[in-house]
Protein backbone atom coordinates (compact mmCIF):
# COMPACT_ATOMS: atom_id res chain seq x y z
CA UNK A 1 0.00 0.00 0.00
CA UNK A 2 1.25 3.45 -0.86
CA UNK A 3 1.53 5.91 1.98
CA UNK A 4 0.12 9.44 1.74
CA UNK A 5 2.60 12.15 0.93
CA UNK A 6 3.94 14.49 3.55
CA UNK A 7 5.46 16.77 0.92
CA UNK A 8 3.73 20.14 0.52
CA UNK A 9 4.80 20.45 -3.13
CA UNK A 10 3.13 17.13 -4.07
CA UNK A 11 -0.53 18.03 -4.59
CA UNK A 12 -3.47 15.78 -5.39
CA UNK A 13 -5.75 18.74 -6.06
CA UNK A 14 -4.70 21.79 -8.02
CA UNK A 15 -6.42 25.15 -7.78
CA UNK A 16 -8.24 25.79 -11.09
CA UNK A 17 -6.45 29.16 -11.31
CA UNK A 18 -3.09 27.34 -11.29
CA UNK A 19 -4.30 24.93 -13.99
CA UNK A 20 -5.46 27.88 -16.09
CA UNK A 21 -2.18 29.78 -15.58
CA UNK A 22 -0.15 26.76 -16.70
CA UNK A 23 -2.52 26.05 -19.59
CA UNK A 24 -2.15 29.57 -20.96
CA UNK A 25 1.64 29.23 -21.04
CA UNK A 26 1.54 25.66 -22.43
CA UNK A 27 2.18 24.67 -26.02
CA UNK A 28 0.85 21.20 -26.96
CA UNK A 29 3.65 18.64 -26.95
CA UNK A 30 4.01 17.72 -30.60
CA UNK A 31 4.73 14.02 -30.05
CA UNK A 32 1.57 13.67 -27.92
CA UNK A 33 -0.45 15.38 -30.65
CA UNK A 34 1.01 13.11 -33.34
CA UNK A 35 0.40 9.95 -31.28
CA UNK A 36 -3.12 11.03 -30.28
CA UNK A 37 -2.43 10.63 -26.55
CA UNK A 38 -2.85 12.95 -23.59
CA UNK A 39 0.72 12.82 -22.32
CA UNK A 40 4.05 11.18 -23.17
CA UNK A 41 5.94 9.17 -20.56
CA UNK A 42 8.35 6.28 -20.31
CA UNK A 43 6.28 3.47 -18.73
CA UNK A 44 9.42 2.33 -16.89
CA UNK A 45 10.01 5.70 -15.18
CA UNK A 46 8.99 5.13 -11.56
CA UNK A 47 9.32 7.31 -8.51
CA UNK A 48 10.17 6.01 -5.03
CA UNK A 49 6.50 5.23 -4.39
CA UNK A 50 6.19 3.08 -7.53
CA UNK A 51 4.25 5.62 -9.56
CA UNK A 52 5.05 6.54 -13.14
CA UNK A 53 6.10 10.13 -13.72
CA UNK A 54 6.68 12.62 -16.51
CA UNK A 55 6.54 16.41 -16.82
CA UNK A 56 3.57 18.58 -17.67
CA UNK A 57 5.30 20.02 -20.73
CA UNK A 58 4.87 16.60 -22.41
CA UNK A 59 1.07 16.93 -22.33
CA UNK A 60 -1.15 17.69 -25.27
CA UNK A 61 -3.52 19.79 -23.11
CA UNK A 62 -2.91 20.79 -19.48
CA UNK A 63 -6.61 20.63 -18.64
CA UNK A 64 -6.74 16.93 -19.55
CA UNK A 65 -3.95 15.90 -17.17
CA UNK A 66 -5.06 17.56 -13.94
CA UNK A 67 -4.96 15.36 -10.82
CA UNK A 68 -7.87 12.93 -10.73
CA UNK A 69 -8.10 12.66 -14.52
CA UNK A 70 -7.91 9.42 -16.47
CA UNK A 71 -5.49 9.78 -19.38
CA UNK A 72 -4.03 7.90 -22.30
CA UNK A 73 -0.28 7.89 -21.80
CA UNK A 74 1.88 7.20 -24.83
CA UNK A 75 5.43 6.05 -25.39
CA UNK A 76 7.44 4.44 -28.16
CA UNK A 77 6.38 1.12 -26.62
CA UNK A 78 2.64 1.75 -26.87
CA UNK A 79 -0.25 3.48 -25.17
CA UNK A 80 -1.57 2.89 -21.67
CA UNK A 81 -4.37 4.10 -19.45
CA UNK A 82 -3.38 5.93 -16.29
CA UNK A 83 -4.87 7.98 -13.51
CA UNK A 84 -3.22 11.31 -12.72
CA UNK A 85 -2.45 11.06 -9.01
CA UNK A 86 -0.79 14.41 -8.39
CA UNK A 87 1.35 17.22 -9.68
CA UNK A 88 4.68 17.64 -7.95
CA UNK A 89 5.99 21.21 -7.89
CA UNK A 90 9.24 20.44 -6.05
CA UNK A 91 11.46 20.85 -9.09
CA UNK A 92 9.52 23.48 -11.04
CA UNK A 93 6.59 25.77 -10.47
CA UNK A 94 5.98 26.09 -14.21
CA UNK A 95 6.58 22.50 -15.38
CA UNK A 96 5.51 20.21 -12.54
CA UNK A 97 6.08 16.50 -12.48
CA UNK A 98 2.89 14.63 -13.37
CA UNK A 99 2.53 11.55 -11.15
CA UNK A 100 0.65 8.72 -12.87
CA UNK A 101 -0.77 5.43 -11.66
CA UNK A 102 -0.63 3.12 -14.66
CA UNK A 103 -3.66 0.90 -15.05
CA UNK A 104 -3.10 -2.74 -16.02
CA UNK A 105 -5.18 -2.39 -19.20
CA UNK A 106 -4.70 -0.90 -22.63
CA UNK A 107 -7.09 1.54 -24.28
CA UNK A 108 -7.85 -1.11 -26.92
CA UNK A 109 -8.76 -3.73 -24.30
CA UNK A 110 -11.15 -1.28 -22.63
CA UNK A 111 -12.79 -0.46 -25.98
CA UNK A 112 -13.14 -4.19 -26.71
CA UNK A 113 -14.70 -4.87 -23.28
CA UNK A 114 -17.16 -1.98 -23.71
CA UNK A 115 -18.09 -3.26 -27.18
CA UNK A 116 -18.77 -6.76 -25.79
CA UNK A 117 -20.95 -5.26 -23.08
CA UNK A 118 -22.79 -3.12 -25.59
CA UNK A 119 -21.75 0.04 -23.76
CA UNK A 120 -20.54 3.10 -25.62
CA UNK A 121 -17.07 4.36 -24.72
CA UNK A 122 -18.34 7.92 -24.24
pLDDT tens, residue by residue, 32-51: 999 999 999 999 999 988 99
Tell me the domain boundaries of the chain. Answer: 10-117
Confidence of residue 121 (pLDDT cuts 50, 70, 90): low
**What pLDDT is recorded for position 13?**
74
Residue 113 has pLDDT above 90, yes or no: no
Residues 67/16, Cβ–Cβ less than 8 Å: no
Question: pLDDT tens digits, residue range 83-102?
Answer: 999 998 888 888 999 999 99
- Report which DSSP code applies to 38: S
**What pLDDT is recorded for position 93?**
87
Task: Tell me the HSE value of 5 on the side-chain side, using a 13 A CA sphere.
Answer: 18
**Can you say how many angstroms the Cα of residue 79 is from the centroid of all Cα atoms in its chain?**
12
Residue 11 has pLDDT above 80, yes or no: no
Residue 119 has pLDDT above 50, yes or no: yes
DSSP for 77-115, written as a single string: S-EEEEEEEEEE-SS-SSSPEEEEEE-SS-HHHHHHHHH
Amino acid sequence: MRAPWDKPWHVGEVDPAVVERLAIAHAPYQEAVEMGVDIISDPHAEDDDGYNWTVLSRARDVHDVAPGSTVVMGSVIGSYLAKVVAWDFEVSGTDPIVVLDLLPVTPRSVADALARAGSPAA
